[in-house]
Amino acid sequence: MAEVSARANASTETGAAHSDRDGATGESQLPILRFLTCGSVDDGKSTLIGRLLFDCQLIHEDTLESLSVESRNFGTTGDELDLALLVDGLQAEREQGITIDVAYRYFSTPRRKFIVADTPGHEQYTRNMATGASRCDLAIILVDARKGVVTQTRRHSCIAHLLGIEHVVVAINKMDLVGFDAKRFAEIEKDYLEFAGALGIPHVTTIPMSALQGDNISQRSDQTAWYDGPTLLEKLETVDVSTAAASAPLRMPVQWICRPDLDFRGYAGTITSGSVKTGDHVVALPSARGSSVSRIVTADGDLDSATAGDAVMLTLVDEIDISRGDVVCAANDRSEVADQFAADVVWMSERPLLKGRPYLLRLGQQSTVCQISELKHKINVETLEHVASRQLELNEIGLCNLSVTKPIVFDHYEDSRESGGFILIDRLTNETVGAGMIRFSLRRAHNVHWQAVDIHKDVRSTLKHQRACCLWFTGLSGSGKSTVANLLEKRLYSQGRHTYLLDGDNVRHGLNRDLGFTDADRVENIRRVTEVARLMVDAGLITLVSFISPFRAERRFARERFEGGEFLELYVDTPIEICETRDPKGLYAKARTGDIKNFTGISSPYEPPEYPEVTLHGGSRSPEALVDDVIEYLVSNRIIDEV
């Protein structure tokens, strides 16, 4: 390992030289390039980054000594330094020889500073790649010269393009293993450029290289005399990725309202685009209330102006209502505000995206519940064909229409990553399940408005001398839901109550006759019934809903569509063994033999309620006794009067 010591000494001397040079020229003034490496597994991403750091003489002596030891323990290069270990930081990665997490590294040359994200190659970790790409200006997509362009190459290219990366370097690596064959390089280059042209990537550079041996990384290789393009480092140092963030319209998401006393109200946030100066007229969205900037406050004192990237606190001439999550915009060039829009979605969860299922959408400081109202198509990453589908699986990409429960403030993603990109979160597990890029608002969102009416729910309920509500019965098939709901409606009817019963089987003969029993169909089944039940409650009725409704997410969605106190969840808790004995149609038996697919409790899950208003023990009490329990609850909570 004599090379280690010699290289370390050179690194120390060069580091000192860099330090002197930085002091003279001001390293902080160097432009920054954020880039990522991606590709299929074992294409050499980590080795490439390690080689860049090594060739730029940016590895300290103690790091090199540690690398020497780790190369012997975990390396794959024999007696040579395994440069991939500089980046493969996780123990699991080192033992398996793969990259799992996104590893970030920072380095600089006399011409530029770099932030590099080394992202995973395995298909199941594509979500990590999307995370790394979201803040990058350039993507290095590695291709193994032996394998050529593969599915993961195309998938990463699609994601990089959707996330707004315009500059792609195709690093055709391991050229040493194909004898630096110019014909092989040309074949791969042609294959990729055809795909990139169809995808619409504007700037593509292809470079033949060997990350292991250092060919065309920082020095031009004698092995590729037929190649006259730049080395990788030359490309990284000279590529123009300047953006128009400073000249774009003002956008400042409000992160915090500062009110230390009655005489001061400031709105703190980081300016994501544009600039602002005292006296500028601004508006706060979504309220669209306007004012003028009176002060621009920072920790170092007031400023006359601020620009993109500055963290500031604005005070306004007028006291207008602004909350966390609102966006301060230029008055003459505002963001859009809508509750329906189209977006490209990259799905990151092993549980599929389902139309109609509620998710939590977060865009900047804004947060709201959303639904996929339509999956228009998904993208076949091999052919770029638009494929009809009812759901998105892990790592799939699709164009969706989304609706949110309250309007959000946004720009088109192609105009602004910060105000056009969002994430989707599973509301039960808090897992990030998707990333989205907004294309445009839907025209129907601008054309459909609430019509004011004079006769409303309270008036209708008063006329009927009752309190309108939704009694939502849930439980396994055969638990006794429909029996109890039917007996309860008869009891309420005998008391002069105005009711309506929505039963799962009956509704499937009409409103939902087009739906099957897949997870996606079950979600849509509950969504439709929820909207019908809302109309029934709005009519002043006590509405009984008897549906298996197996998923907590959909029952939670149903609850949130009603006003407080209107939705009552009644869980008919009957053991599955008893349910099977009450099965005259033999559905459970058919499900256990596989004759019926997606049967709740057997081949499809049932998620019991966690906090129902009423739990009815259907296995140990008669239906009449269970109805008594419900009546007692309704009376004690003043939903109906005692008779």
Q: For 599-619, write each residue's pLDDT tens digit.
A: 999 988 999 999 999 999 998
Residue 10: what pLDDT? 36
The residue from 275, 349, 419, 549 that is catalytic is 549
Q: Supply the pTM of this predicted model.
A: 0.73
pLDDT of 628 over the 80 cut: yes
- The distance from CA 452 to its chain's CA centroid, rounded to whole angstroms, is 36
Residue 20: what pLDDT? 38
- The distance from CA 544 to its chain's CA centroid, rounded to whole angstroms, is 36
**400 and 505 both lie in a single domain:** no
For residue 427, the tally of other CB atoms under 10 A from its CB is 18
Q: For 481-533, write each residue's pLDDT tens digit.
A: 999 999 999 999 999 999 999 998 899 899 989 988 888 888 889 999 999 99
Let me know if 323 is a catalytic residue: no
> How many whole angstroms separate alpha carbon 126 and alpha carbon 41?
11
Q: Rg (Cα) of the chain, in Å, rounded?
A: 31
Lowest mean pLDDT among 130-134, 317-321, 589-593, 612-616: 130-134
Q: For 29-78, write each residue's pLDDT tens digit.
A: 788 899 988 888 777 777 888 788 777 765 555 555 555 555 555 555 55
Q: Which helix (DSSP H) or strand (DSSP E) does residue 502 occupy?
A: strand 499-503
Confidence of residue 139 (pLDDT cuts 50, 70, 90): very high
Choosing from 330, 345, 366, the residue where a domain stops is 330
Residues of the domain holding 288:
251-330
Contact of 211 with 175, CB cutoff 8 Å: no
Choosing from 285, 309, 330, the residue where a domain stops is 330
Choosing from 211, 238, 265, the residue where a domain stops is 238
Question: Could you give the number of structural domains in the chain?
Answer: 4
Q: For 177-212, write each residue's pLDDT tens digit.
A: 999 999 999 999 999 999 999 989 999 999 999 988
CA angle 596, 600, 601 (to 5 degrees): 110
**366 and 424 both lie in a single domain:** yes
For the domain that residue 480 is a member of, what is the CATH number?
3.40.50.300
For the domain that residue 324 is a member of, what is the CATH number?
2.40.30.10
Q: For 569-582, write each residue's pLDDT tens digit.
A: 999 999 999 999 98
Distances (CA, A) of 178 to 146, 147, 175, 190: 7, 10, 5, 17
> How many whole angstroms separate alpha carbon 230 and alpha carbon 233?
8
Residue 70: what pLDDT? 57
> How many whole angstroms separate alpha carbon 187 and alpha carbon 530?
56
- Across 300-326, average pLDDT: 91
**437 and 476 both lie in a single domain:** no
Q: Identify whether 244 is part of a domain.
A: no
Q: For 244-287, write each residue's pLDDT tens digit.
A: 666 789 999 999 999 888 889 999 999 999 999 999 999 999 98
pLDDT of 316 over the 90 cut: yes
234 by Cβ neighbours in 10 Å (0-12 / 13-18 / 19+) ranks as: middle
Lowest mean pLDDT among 143-152, 165-174, 309-318, 426-435: 426-435
